[in-house]
Structure 1
Amino acid sequence: MPKVQSALPVQPDHTVRRGPAAARPEWRTDLDGLRGLAIALVVAFHVWAGRVSGGVDVFLVLSGFFFTGAIVRGVERQGRVAARNTARRTLRRLTPSLVVVLAAIVAATVVLRPYTQLGETAAQTLATMFYGQNWYLATAELDYLAPDPSVSPLQHLWSMSVQGQFYLVIFAILAGWAWLRRQGRVGRPGLLLALAGLGLLSFWYAAFGTSQHQAWTYYDSVARGWELLAGAALAVAAPWVRLPARLRGVAAALGLLMVLACGPLFDGANQFPGVAALWPVAAACLVIVAGFGVHGERRGVANRLLSGRVCTELGALAYPLYLWHWPILIFYLAETGRVRAGLVDGLVVIGVSLLLAVATTRLIETPLRLPPRGSAATPSRGAGVLVGVLAVTVLASSLGWQLVLRANPAVPPQALDSARYPGAAALLSGAEFAPETMRPTVFEAHVDAPSPTFDGCITPNREVRTCTYGDPTATRSIALVGGSHSEHWLPALELLGVEHGFRVVSYLKEGCPIVLADQPSYAEWPFPECHEWSVEVLDRLAAEPPDWVFTLSTRYRQQGIGDEVPAEYLEVWSALQDRGLNVLAMRDTPRLRRDGVLYRANDCLAHRGDADSCGLDRADALDLVDPAMAPAAGYPNIHLLDLSDAVCRPQRCRVVEGNVLIYRDEHHLTASYARSLAPELGRQMSAVTGWW
């Protein structure tokens, strides 16, 4: 049976085979070293730079190369794919270490993290065990009720899911090719053309998706497919690809330099797997091709460097090191409240990860590796039992917790008694109240959201959606425009619309305050469809002008404390003025963050925090004077609203006021608290509009 190796592998099996298997190509120790270099870059960039290095893209190319090559050679020797043996070997190589790490993550979450995170960890654990983590994270990027996946100790396992899905697809393709080959219809050239065609389609899809919705495309298996198919195509084309002797060393050296330069040159999280990913993919392909048809000392200097002990030893640990380093880092940062590790503590994180990787290799992977064919040896029974028990425990606990949550779904409060739950009134008028159980509770917080979140009236894509709230029969109207920070004012506007007779027409898009710049300065990733959506919204507002446009006037300062008016907002104000539209411009609400790290109010409260300790100093969140006042003086159509005093005390912004939880996550108001803001919002709006 041919050896099957993954891009994120356990230590490869170097067992010497005899008979037909002896014709297999010499084992590429330089590719072991390339894998080792790639994992070193992945770990270093995660720990110290907080960005993508391109190492995972190298892994994916190697995965496609080794897995496809092994099966193709097996088909040419045996005339068919060995489905059972391939599946057994692949699962035996990938599953044991994964199960051990998942068990450790679940246990650490229970012990160290707030109990409000157990459900999310359980869901991601199940997604990982069934190789669907990438789709879970992609969906979470589009779901405003989902927690931010970037803080998950399981986030890095998306690549394992992409790899597992590729194995299934390429195995089916190769099985079909094996059948056609037996019929004498399709040989290697036909297979190569098919893989190249699929790779080009996947690349086109990735390039288009990256330019339109990077957050989804990053995790999309179809968009990632071309990287694996590049390696697969090389494996099929191997018999025909031979570089001239003079070019082999140049190709390997260039590929090695490109791998090393990828992280500093590219912002992979915002650019891959689109056109920019050609860089790490081409780098891996150059190193692979440079070794075709040559052996050992005849390979170039770069290939021999990669075959050195340091790189190959790291390559042998690549899979468990990849599994361990991210959760160790995330739990460390979560416990210390830091954005990223420094030099010394980063070395400690890496050291602990290496020790765990070595232990996992020696105690779990090596004892469970299949023995050579014909050997009387058997995999370790003890290690097998341990992995089996852990797998059942992790699966049962994760599934059980999910069933508990499904049986007891969180239901947001619809209408709270203002006497018992005065909310903002406790700040503004000093309303007296007796202590009550906080509402929404920490388990209800994430679903206590405005209507558009549930009725589909905040769009995740390019489509402009409009919905009507408040008094639908009223002649007066307010257009609510922007992203989720405009949306979270809707519960208050709905109450005022019903009371004072006006319609609220929503123009909302997730993560998109209305903007005319292709790449606004505050954007976290390329999001061109935000600009396209904004232009169409402005055109619609001009065609059917409302009495007022309600949108934001400020945004938190990403690099520093307080808030500001981005230059892009002024451009929008000018566009609204040119269209004759009057604007109610609301100062944005504070975001919960410490030293630049966002945190969720419900997690903090569940983790031994209280209303005050889970809050933040007002001076860290808001400038002393509304920063929109000075620029707004030059725009007669801009009328400012500021409810900061209804959210924050003079010195402190707490997370609970008047028995009502203010935040449903890191920075969005709960619908319950927003409704308690209606009287003050109505007072300020009345002073501007004169409607009541």
Structure 2
Amino acid sequence: MSEPALAPSAPSTRAPHRADLDGLRGLAIALVVVFHVWFGKVSGGVDVFLTLAGFFFVGSLVRAAESAAPLDPRPVLLRTARRLLAPLVLVLAATAAATVALLAPTSWLGLAEQGRSALFFWENWHLAETASDYLAADPSVSPLQHLWSISVQGQFYLAALLVVFGTAWLLRSRGVAVRGPITGLLAALAAGSFWYAISAEHPQSWLYYDTGARMWELLAGGLLACAMPWLRLPRALQALFGVAGLIAIVGTGFLLDGRHEFPGPWALVPVGGALAVIVAGGPASRLLASPALQRLGDIAYSLYLWHWPVLIFTLIALDRPDVGPAGGLAVIAVSLVLAHLTTRLVEEPIRRGVPSPRRRTLVAGVAALAVAVLAATSGWIMSIAGKSDEISHLADIDPAAYPGAAVLATGDEVPVRPEQPSRYVAHLDLPVTTADECLAGGGMVDPLRCEYGDPDGTRTVAVIGGSHAEHWFPALESIARDRGLRLETYMKVGCPVTVAAPDDEPDECTIWSGSVLGALAASPPDLVFSTSTRPRPDHVGGDWTPEGYVRMWERLSELDIPAAVVRDTPWLWEDGVIYRAADCLANGGDADSCGMDRTAVLDAVDPARDASAPLPTVYPMDLSDAVCRPDRCRVVEGNVLIYRDTDHMTTAYSRTLAPELDRQLGVSTGWW
């Protein structure tokens, strides 16, 4: 690559074609696909895509701004829409069809919401709001989850167009050169985005998808595009930059845990590698310009869109947590064929073709398909929304027909009736604390306190922990009404109250836990209620009491606050893959077949019994016999659906546990 000039050359709206950057796209998509299929990790390839997207798009905008042409955003928007929408619509339609064919209707709502969000380039925010980890592939993961990055790009393109053209319009009217001020403005925005990514008080599951936290990666490429005319890099450094950049890009997935570290400072590794390759030359450029990598680069966008749903639906069809070597090759082969056909038959004719009857027909077909996808997804969302009224009537269901946990205590048989809540709306059967926003969200480390029960009660019970403490709340609320108890809640999404080991680095949950313990010390309740166990890591079978729980109990004992700790309910999983009870039932399963062997999910004896033995003010309670039969943990008992998702009880079933929980609380505390 020849050395760039020191100053900008004559304005041009098109940059010289660089085959090596086509190859860089090809390398990036190869890394993405290989790591998704076989390693279950983030490769850094998406970060390279984002950097390249910023480089090309901002570069084209700045060149247009420097030219004498009118600053008309419409052609830019039209070109971008042609580039992004046609393949996206095709993949969304195919995914919708596969969803109907392979997945239970109870799974359609989440995918309908994601599909509609993706169509409007809003998927990343939907995933952030639903706290979706960017997981390794398995049958429980959404086939549309990868579209978050396309949404980020779409939002960036619109924002960059407004910023660059708006700034250029102001500068042109004053006769000022545009490149320098635009570069400075973009640099300030990139710095702000990077600072936000490393300092924002949001959980990783939010920041991973947050456009604001990702913007610096695209702006880094855009800044390089602005600076390219002024760069002067010796040939020796060009070669060094190229080799170092390739090493950084390829090594990212092997050395870094991008799912938990990006888009923070470690994302500088793949982004920096991409920037180095862009300014480089020598062996790296010659390698990247190879025909194979260029060909991959040509179909990179379509391949990115296709490979993930092909992988997920293959796992669903095989009912396995991984595809293995041979299956992975088949997934890649199918994805390559689909990407090639999409690029050649849809993307290129629409994006590059001259106006013709064939092109107009193709555009009309894609538009009709987009309308069909939007109508189907919106229709299903509205259909489920119409059923949500059923939830408000669950508190009044007939206990004789829907006894729930009572049948496990009495052994009585009841005539089988349609389960309540319905499998279609079970995910909406949430405790009142969720509706009241009494479950602290990500980034919150101060205790959030809410009050329930009898405000004049003489005894106070503090419910502490995460969503697994919360799903016992409906039962506790029933007891509080009958026994005259005041209830306080200190709860946070995904955070049981724990105390870290002395050598452990505090995380958000342990910092919040310390704040909760401080609040309890300042205003001690008569009793703390929390959970005492979790499934063993990686679902190897049985349950256990983490050491952090025991240290928390010790701290409560030091504060002279007694604690009633309840064994957690089993989490639904099979062969290492979690599943939803509603989906299993909708796929033709029944209460028994959709359940699990008790010995596979629960130890024979409550692990908290031994763990709490040295602490006389800690009262372990085990309601497993009110959830599971002696040999089987079913998903429906007494016509009441136990699970609202993969591991949380429905509010309806929790209420039926109140008599047994009341009995064990009375025995433990001696209060009644």
CA separation of 1:120 and 1:568: change in aligned 2, threshold 3 A? same
TM-score normalised by structure 1 residue count: 0.91
One of 509, 515, 525 as aligned partner of 1:536 = 515
Q: Do structure 1's residue 550 and structure 2's residue 529 form an aligned pair?
A: yes
SS in 2 for 1:369: helix
Q: Do structure 1's residue 452 and structure 2's residue 443 form an aligned pair?
A: no
Shift of 1:333: 1.6
Partner of residue 572, structure 2? 592
Q: Do structure 1's residue 222 and structure 2's residue 212 form an aligned pair?
A: yes
1:167-566 equivalent positions in 2, closer than 5 A? 167-182=157-172, 183-209=174-200, 212-290=202-280, 299-371=281-353, 380-412=359-391, 413-461=394-442, 462=444, 463-517=446-500, 528-559=507-538, 560-566=540-546
Contact 2:498–2:513 (CA<8 Å) still a contact in 1?
Answer: yes
**Structure 1 letter corresponding to 2:197:** A
Deviation track 1:248-268 (CA, whole Å, cap 9, x = no partner) reads 001000000110000011111
**Structure 1 letter corresponding to 2:210:** D
CA distance in 2, matches of 1:488, 1:28: 57
**Structure 1 letter corresponding to 2:215:** G
Moved more, 20-29 or 555-564: 20-29
SS in 1 for 2:619: strand
Contact 1:80–1:179 (CA<8 Å) still a contact in 2?
Answer: no
**Structure 1 letter corresponding to 2:115:** T
CA separation of 1:411 and 1:637: change in aligned 2, threshold 3 A? same
Moved more, 123-132 or 383-392: 383-392
Contact 2:102–2:316 (CA<8 Å) still a contact in 1?
Answer: no
Contact 1:422–1:431 (CA<8 Å) still a contact in 2?
Answer: no
CA distance in 1, matches of 2:438, 2:63: 53
Partner of residue 629, structure 1? 609
Partner of residue 677, structure 1? 657
Contact 1:337–1:594 (CA<8 Å) still a contact in 2?
Answer: no
SS in 1 for 2:464: strand
Contact 2:463–2:528 (CA<8 Å) still a contact in 1?
Answer: yes
Deviation track 1:611-648 (CA, whole Å, cap 9, x = no partner) reads 11111111111111111222211222211000011111
CA distance in 1, matches of 2:515, 2:53: 44
CA distance in 1, matches of 2:59, 2:502: 42
The alignment yields a C-alpha RMSD, in angstroms, of 2.1
Shift of 1:481: 0.5
CA distance in 1, matches of 2:63, 2:11: 9
**Structure 2 letter corresponding to 1:440:** P
CA distance in 1, matches of 2:12, 2:439: 61
Partner of residue 4, structure 2? none
Shift of 1:125: 1.3
CA distance in 2, matches of 1:688, 1:334: 45
Shift of 1:49: 1.4
Contact 1:563–1:623 (CA<8 Å) still a contact in 2?
Answer: yes
Contact 1:50–1:340 (CA<8 Å) still a contact in 2?
Answer: no
CA separation of 1:625 and 1:407: change in aligned 2, threshold 3 A? closer
Shift of 1:493: 0.8
Contact 2:116–2:378 (CA<8 Å) still a contact in 1?
Answer: yes
CA distance in 1, matches of 2:433, 2:319: 33
Shift of 1:65: 0.3
Deviation track 1:397-435 (CA, whole Å, cap 9, x = no partner) reads 222222333344343211332211111111122123222
Partner of residue 611, structure 1? 591
Contact 1:43–1:325 (CA<8 Å) still a contact in 2?
Answer: yes
CA distance in 2, matches of 1:377, 1:386: 14
**Structure 2 letter corresponding to 1:207:** I
CA distance in 2, matches of 1:314, 1:386: 27
Deviation track 1:537-565 (CA, whole Å, cap 9, x = no partner) reads 10111111111111111111122111111
CA distance in 2, matches of 1:56, 1:325: 13
Shift of 1:129: 0.8
CA distance in 2, matches of 1:191, 1:437: 63
CA separation of 1:612 and 1:149: change in aligned 2, threshold 3 A? closer
Partner of residue 6, structure 1? none
CA distance in 1, matches of 2:374, 2:126: 17
SS in 2 for 1:477: strand
Deviation track 1:455-504 (CA, whole Å, cap 9, x = no partner) reads 11111141422222222211111111000000011111111111122112
CA separation of 1:23 and 1:94: change in aligned 2, threshold 3 A? closer
Partner of residue 7, structure 2? none
Moved more, 261-270 or 389-398: 389-398
CA distance in 2, matches of 1:123, 1:550: 36
Q: Do structure 1's residue 106 and structure 2's residue 96 form an aligned pair?
A: yes
CA separation of 1:114 and 1:23: change in aligned 2, threshold 3 A? closer
One of 67, 85, 88 as aligned partner of 2:75 = 85
The number of aligned residues is 653
Contact 2:12–2:64 (CA<8 Å) still a contact in 1?
Answer: no
Shift of 1:79: 4.6
**Structure 1 letter corresponding to 2:209:** Y
Contact 1:214–1:270 (CA<8 Å) still a contact in 2?
Answer: yes
Moved more, 173-182 or 595-604: 173-182
% identical equivalent positions? 50
Contact 2:139–2:316 (CA<8 Å) still a contact in 1?
Answer: no
Contact 1:656–1:662 (CA<8 Å) still a contact in 2?
Answer: yes
Contact 2:429–2:650 (CA<8 Å) still a contact in 1?
Answer: yes
Deviation track 1:21-40 (CA, whole Å, cap 9, x = no partner) reads 98854311111111111101
CA separation of 1:142 and 1:537: change in aligned 2, threshold 3 A? farther
Shift of 1:337: 2.7
Contact 2:99–2:108 (CA<8 Å) still a contact in 1?
Answer: yes
Moved more, 265-274 or 380-389: 380-389
Shift of 1:388: 2.3
CA distance in 2, matches of 1:520, 1:609: 47
CA separation of 1:532 and 1:88: change in aligned 2, threshold 3 A? same
CA separation of 1:604 and 1:410: change in aligned 2, threshold 3 A? farther
Q: Do structure 1's residue 664 and structure 2's residue 605 form an aligned pair?
A: no
Contact 2:66–2:179 (CA<8 Å) still a contact in 1?
Answer: no
Shift of 1:61: 0.4
CA distance in 1, matches of 2:379, 2:593: 33
Partner of residue 13, structure 1? none
